[in-house]
């Protein structure tokens, strides 16, 4: 009897780690100076708290373009990426010519990015055309910011040959502006973003408005672009609204993700949104309506199940 009891106890000890084992998920985000990293960290916390059997961690990456490769190779389980980058990857166009990522699926579009062109007050730069001949950061290599910056510039007759290109991440761009090493920098990110907020505390900044004609030129080249007005006061001493363009941000996975896991993550994303808003205000735009009107690629079947379960109409184009 003692031997049997001892064997049972030993079996329980051996089984215990299996009972509490968590499958860890990797969330590919971006640099620490943008929104992707804190938003991804918030999503990881939601998964840790509310998705049984799973834990998650946000990973710093080069953002959208790199993230699509991570999803394609299975090196990340979830990723945040700009809609234009996601669409190009799915179609095998642009940066993904000849290497289409057929298995990319979306769980949701989560909030819009605003293209924000920042310079120092008094720099003399007040329009896109003023960037010619200037030192301009177009974003980190492999980032969605660079994809957006290049599309916007070229749609309006400005090539990389017309500017002195720097490829810096958000924090590096802010530091270079502060130190006078560049004249202007692009951010494609959900406002407000920490790197611009911090820069505005120590220096007087200005943001470049884009004209309606320039916005329409950009939309002809990239249909996922949409007009966006950055409200006055978003950043210190930026007292007027700024007209620009925006691009949805998409939470993507590989089509091979189990349906139940995709369903549970989508459910948590929309039913625990308040916890994300407490981490970053960009999550105020994380709504079912925004997701179903802004997602550029088919949804994962697990996500479709959640949307239909709550009575939302999923467009045929988004059904896998």
Q: Chain-wide mean pLDDT for the chain?
A: 91
Contact 133, 162 (CB under 8 A): yes
> Which candidate, 185, 244, 241, 187, places its Cα nearest to that of 218?
244
Residues contacting residue 228 through CB under 8 Å, at least 6 positions apart: 112, 114, 243, 244, 245, 246
pLDDT in tens, 229-284: 898 999 999 999 999 998 899 999 999 999 999 999 999 999 999 999 999 888 98
Q: Is 168 in a helix, a strand, or coil?
A: coil
Task: Examine residue 75 and state whether it is found in any structural domain, yes or no.
Answer: yes
SS3 254: strand
Residue 234 in domain = yes
Query: Per the domain annotation, does 15 fall within a domain?
Result: no
Last residue of a domain, one of 221, 247, 273: 247
Q: Examine the fold and report which residue of 247, 278, 298 is the final residue of a domain before the chain moves on.
A: 247
Q: Does residue 155 share a domain with residue 237?
A: yes
Q: What tens digit of pLDDT does each residue of 45-58 get?
A: 999 999 999 999 99
Specify whether the CB–CB gap between 263 and 51 falls below 8 A.
Answer: no
Interhelix angle for 144-155 vs 64-73, to 10°?
130
**How many folded domains does the chain comprise?**
2
According to the model, what pLDDT value does residue 5 have?
A: 41
Question: Which CATH number covers residue 207?
Answer: 3.40.190.10
Vertex 159: Cα angle to 243 and 81 (nearest 5):
60
What's the rounded Cα separation, in Å, for the pair 87 and 84?
Answer: 5
**Of 34, 53, 56, 35, nearest in space to 44 by CA:** 56
* CA distances for 145 relative to 21, 150, 204, 303, angstroms: 38, 9, 23, 27
295 and 274 assigned to the same domain: yes
SS3 category, 256: coil
Instruction: Mark whether 128 and 93 lie in a shared domain.
Output: no
What DSSP assignment string belongs to 189-234? EPSS-HHHHHHHHHS-EEE----HHHHHHHHHH-TT-EEEEEPTTS
Task: Kindly state whether residue 228 falls inside one of the protein's structural domains.
Answer: yes
The confidence band for 21, taking pLDDT boundaries of 50, 70 and 90, is low
Give yes or no: residues 177 and 133 share one domain: yes
Residue 170 near residue 186 (C-beta atoms within 8 A): no
Q: 């924000």: which residue's tokens?
A: 116
d(CA 64, CA 148): 11
Long-range Cβ contacts of 70-73 (<8 Å, 24+ apart): 70/28, 71/28, 71/101, 71/104, 71/252, 71/253, 71/254, 72/101, 72/103, 72/104, 72/254
Both 44 and 150 in a single domain?
no
Q: What would the pLDDT profile of 173-228 be if each residue is shown by its tens digit?
A: 999 999 999 999 999 988 889 999 999 999 999 999 999 999 999 989 988 888 88
- Domain boundary (216, 247, 278) is at 247
Question: pLDDT at position 226, please?
Answer: 82
Closest to 196 in 3D by CA, of 210, 168, 175, 166: 175
Structure tokens, 312:
């939302």
Q: What is the pTM of this model?
A: 0.73
Cα–Cα distance for residue pair 276/16, rounded to 1 Å:
32
Instruction: Evaluate whether residue 16 is within a structural domain.
Output: no
Q: How far apart are the first and last CA of the chain?
A: 57
More confident residue, 34 or 101: 101
Q: Which domain holds residue 282?
A: 21-111+249-318
Structure tokens at 286: 């994380």
Say whether pLDDT at 18 is over 90. no
Asked if omega into 192 is within 30° of 0 (cis), the reply is yes
């Amino acid at each position: 009897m003692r031997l049997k009891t001892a064997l049972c106890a030993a079996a329980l000890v051996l089984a215990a780690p299996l009972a509490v084992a968590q499958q860890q998920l990797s969330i590919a985000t971006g640099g620490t100076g943008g929104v992707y990293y804190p938003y991804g960290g918030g999503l990881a916390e939601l998964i840790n708290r509310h998705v049984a059997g799973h834990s998650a961690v946000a990973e710093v990456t080069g953002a959208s373009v790199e993230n699509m490769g991570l999803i394609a190779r299975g090196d990340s389980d979830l990723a945040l990426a700009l809609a234009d980058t996601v669409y190009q990857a799915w179609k095998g166009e642009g940066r993904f010519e000849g290497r289409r990522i057929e298995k990319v699926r979306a769980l949701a579009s989560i909030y819009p990015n605003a293209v924000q062109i920042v310079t120092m007050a008094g720099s003399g730069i007040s329009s896109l055309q003023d960037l010619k001949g200037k030192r301009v950061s177009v974003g980190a290599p492999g980032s969605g910011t660079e994809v957006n910056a290049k599309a916007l510039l070229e749609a309006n007759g400005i090539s990389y040959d017309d500017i002195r290109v720097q490829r810096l991440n958000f924090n590096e761009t802010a530091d270079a502006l502060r130190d006078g090493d560049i004249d202007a920098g692009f951010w494609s990110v959900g406002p407000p973003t920490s790197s611009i907020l911090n820069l505005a505390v120590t220096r007087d900044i200005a943001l470049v408005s884009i004209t309606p004609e320039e916005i329409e030129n950009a939309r002809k080249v990239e249909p996922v672009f949409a007009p966006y007005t950055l409200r006055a006061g978003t950043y210190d001493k930026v007292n007027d609204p700024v007209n620009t363009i925006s691009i949805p941000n998409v939470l993507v996975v590989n089509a091979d993700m189990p349906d139940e896991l995709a369903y549970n993550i989508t459910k948590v994303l929309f039913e625990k949104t308040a916890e994300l808003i407490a981490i970053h205000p960009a999550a105020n735009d994380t709504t079912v309506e925004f997701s179903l009107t802004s997602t550029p690629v088919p949804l994962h079947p697990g996500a479709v199940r959640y949307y239909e379960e709550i009575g939302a109409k999923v467009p045929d184009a988004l059904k896998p």
